[in-house]
Structure 1
Amino acid sequence: MFAATAIDTKDKPAFYKELAAQLKALLEGEGDSVANAANTAALIYQMVPDLNWAGFYFLASDDELVLGPFQGKPACVRIAVGKGVCGRALELDMSMLVKDVNEFPGHIA
């Protein structure tokens, strides 16, 4: 059975490399996407310092994301494409790194 082990956070590249290795071990042999999303969110939430939410939104239709497995505070169940950070990232078809979501125009609190 998998058990997460503490990772030194002083060296960010090394931290994320080890986190990826632990995630690979955690997901090994499991093919269910919902189970894997749930465990991914849980591991990230447990291991990344000062994080208040980790999770997934799934594309439910051409114009809407629906909440998937997550850890943290309650979240919006549905997000329209183009709305908030997640909807905007989908609209632009790109990953987005947002330093402070509270400063993002259209942030969904």
Structure 2
Amino acid sequence: MASQTTIRTIKSVIPLLDRVLVQRFKPETKTATGIFLPTSSTTSPLPEATVIATGPGAPNKNGEIVPVSVKAGDKVLLPGWGGNSIKVGEDEYHLFKDSEILAKIQD
């Protein structure tokens, strides 16, 4: 029987190497005028996310650490595929490699 690790808080998840922990933006379930949207129109994952934490970076072929290109709090654009999901309570987070992140979104 396989044991399952329970993650109690997302702050206990520390990404390694060039991994980036993100939380996707939650889709709106209600319009500005108060109309509730059906679940089918809000289930597709949005490609935007907020960076929660980052790893220190990965070594290049010379052994030098190359830092990740984003930091906690950045808003990023993600691909529609990839990443590993982590569920903490009702919240879902994703781990991506730094190279998989498509863009940083400027405010």
* TM class, shorter-length: 0.3 to 0.5
Structure having the larger proportion of residues in helix: 1
Q: Which protein shows a greater Rg? A: 2
Higher relative contact order (Cα pairs below 8 Å, separated by 6+ residues): 2
TM-score (norm 1): 0.33
Normalised by the length of structure 2, the TM-score is 0.33
